[in-house]
Each structure stands twice: as structure tokens, then as C-alpha cells.
């Protein structure tokens, strides 16, 4: 259809041979993307005019955070420690639980297709559930505070590490596994000695990387009452105490940077 509307251009080569050069689809693709963008903006109520006229307020708030309120520093350490503890505990529990779940989802290890299907569905559902939503649900179940945040981080870690781990298990070399089964080992024993050593570095590396992200996620869980430093950020923004929020953001950036550097160091040792 496109070639009929915009017929190819005939080019004669120096050798006398003629070739057909089709018209570029780029203008059509750009037009479709433009129409979809405008339609999406109208559908969601997004306004480019408001974005252009109000975007500078974002920098106004950032500038109000400078200089940070250093006097608020002593009150930050406690919630910051809660955030790190939530992230660490949630990452450890989630990574440990993810191991058997990933094993159950591995089609090359588990012969039951029903079990692998259910395990993969569970992991998909956990990944679909946003961490803020799971944290909000956890506050209803366990009450406000770090307990709810830890549960939310645990669920996210199970879904993230479990998904990557069962994909690694399904792509390992199965020759050692089959050899150990042939000498009388059970499938679990063969997995322990033949498959686990192959995926263990990747599993630990993924868990460390997940811990990095969990520190950042934990910082916003306080907005739904799940404890941690997010409570202070929410309170500071509510009172328009931007210098205090600036101090929290500065401490958070420094903490996340240090954790990322340490995690990166250990992940490089593993891979």
C-alpha cells in the first residue's frame, strides 16, 4: 500500500542497470508516533503547556533545598538506619526464598509442568504488583512501620531474583546434572552439586544488585507509612521544609553511592 502511494524512485546506475529505491518509511513512522503522542496526552490529561509553564518550579524547589539544613542531621540517622535494615533484611529473606521458588520454576530440573507453571505465574504476579502497592497492603496487615516495608521489599526481591535465577538455571550445561543422576543421585542432589555451582556467582551478584535498588525503593516506602527515611521526606515536603529535605536527599545520595560502590566491588569479584 505504501509503495503504491509513494512509488519507488528509479535510479540508473553507471553500468546502465536500473534499480528501484523505495521511499523511506521514516516520515510515516514519525507521523504515527506524533498522533499517538498527542492522543495519549489528551487521554491522560497531560498538558504540554502546563509542563512548559510550570517545569521551572521543579528547579525552584531544588534550589530551596540549598543549603541543606545541617541541624536536622542528628534526626536523620535513625530513620536512615531503619531504611538500610529494611533493605538488608528484605533482600536476604527474599533472596533465600527466591532460590527454592526459582528451582520449582525451572523446567529442566522439575519434571512437573504444573509446578513450574504455577511457580512462574507466582513470580509474574509478584513482579506485576508495584512495591508501593504491596507496601500499602502490608501496612494494613502488619501495621505502620518498618515491618510492612520489609515485607514489601522481600516480595519484590523474590520476584526479581527468582525470575533471573530460574532463567539462569534453565540455560546451564545439563551434562554434569545428567551424569550425577546416572550414578544414583536424586534430582535435588544433582542440582546441589551440578547446577548450583554454575549459577551461584550470578545468583549472589543479582542479590547484591537487588539490595542496591532496595535501598532506593525503601526510601519512598515511607510515603505509604511503611517506615524508613521516606517518612521524614514526606513530613518535610508536607511542611515545605525544603532545607531539611535537602539534607535527607544529600545523606541518602551518599549512602546509596557507598552501598553501590561496595556492591559493585563484590559483584566484580564474583563474575
Segment 244-249 mean pLDDT = 88
Q: CB-side exposure of 242: number of CA atoms within 13 Å? A: 10
Domains of the chain: 2-65 (no CATH), 72-269 (1.10.3720.10)
Q: Is the four-CA dihedral 176, 177, 179, 185 of positive or negative sign?
A: positive
Rounded CA separation 269/271 (Å): 6
**Least confident residue range of 32-41, 81-90, 202-211, 228-237:** 228-237
Q: At residue 16, does pLDDT exceed 70?
A: yes
Rounded CA separation 4/206 (Å): 52
- The predicted model scores a pTM of 0.75
Residues 6+ apart with CB under 8 A from 263: 208, 209, 211, 212
Q: How do residues 20-68 score in pLDDT, each as one tens digit?
A: 777 788 888 899 999 998 888 888 888 888 888 888 888 888 888 888 8
Q: At residue 134, does pLDDT exceed 90?
A: no
> What is the chain's mean pLDDT, rounded?
85
Q: How do residues 196-215 score in pLDDT, each as one tens digit?
A: 888 888 888 888 888 888 88
Segment 181-193 mean pLDDT = 84
* pLDDT for 271: 58
* pLDDT for 268: 74
Amino acid at each position: 500500500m505504501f509503495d503504491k502511494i509513494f512509488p519507488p524512485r528509479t535510479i540508473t546506475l553507471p553500468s546502465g542497470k536500473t534499480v528501484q529505491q523505495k521511499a523511506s518509511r521514516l516520515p510515516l513512522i514519525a507521523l504515527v508516533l506524533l498522533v499517538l503522542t498527542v492522543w495519549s496526552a489528551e487521554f491522560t490529561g497531560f498538558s504540554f503547556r502546563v509542563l512548559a509553564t510550570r517545569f521551572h518550579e521543579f528547579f525552584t524547589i531544588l534550589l530551596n533545598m540549598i543549603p541543606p539544613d545541617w541541624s536536622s542531621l542528628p534526626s536523620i540517622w535513625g530513620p536512615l538506619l531503619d531504611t538500610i535494615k529494611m533493605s538488608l533484611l528484605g533482600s536476604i529473606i527474599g533472596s533465600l526464598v527466591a532460590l527454592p521458588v526459582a528451582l520449582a520454576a525451572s523446567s529442566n530440573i522439575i519434571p512437573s509442568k504444573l509446578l513450574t507453571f504455577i511457580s512462574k505465574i507466582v513470580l509474574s504476579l509478584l513482579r506485576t504488583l508495584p512495591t508501593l502497592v504491596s507496601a500499602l497492603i502490608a501496612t494494613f496487615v502488619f501495621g505502620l512501620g518498618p515491618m510492612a516495608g520489609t515485607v514489601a521489599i522481600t516480595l519484590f526481591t523474590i520476584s526479581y531474583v527468582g525470575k533471573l535465577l530460574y532463567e539462569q538455571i534453565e540455560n546451564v550445561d545439563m551434562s554434569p546434572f545428567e551424569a550425577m543422576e546416572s550414578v544414583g543421585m536424586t534430582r535435588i542432589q544433582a542440582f546441589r552439586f551440578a547446577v548450583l555451582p554454575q549459577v551461584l556467582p550470578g545468583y549472589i551478584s543479582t542479590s547484591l544488585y537487588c539490595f542496591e535498588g532496595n535501598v532506593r525503593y525503601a526510601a519512598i516506602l515511607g510515603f505509604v507509612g511503611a517506615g524508613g527515611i521516606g517518612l521524614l521526606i514526606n513530613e518535610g515536603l508536607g511542611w515545605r521544609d525544603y532545607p531539611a529535605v535537602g539534607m535527607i536527599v544529600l545523606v541518602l545520595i551518599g549512602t546509596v553511592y557507598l552501598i553501590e560502590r561496595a556492591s559493585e566491588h563484590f559483584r566484580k569479584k564474583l563474575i
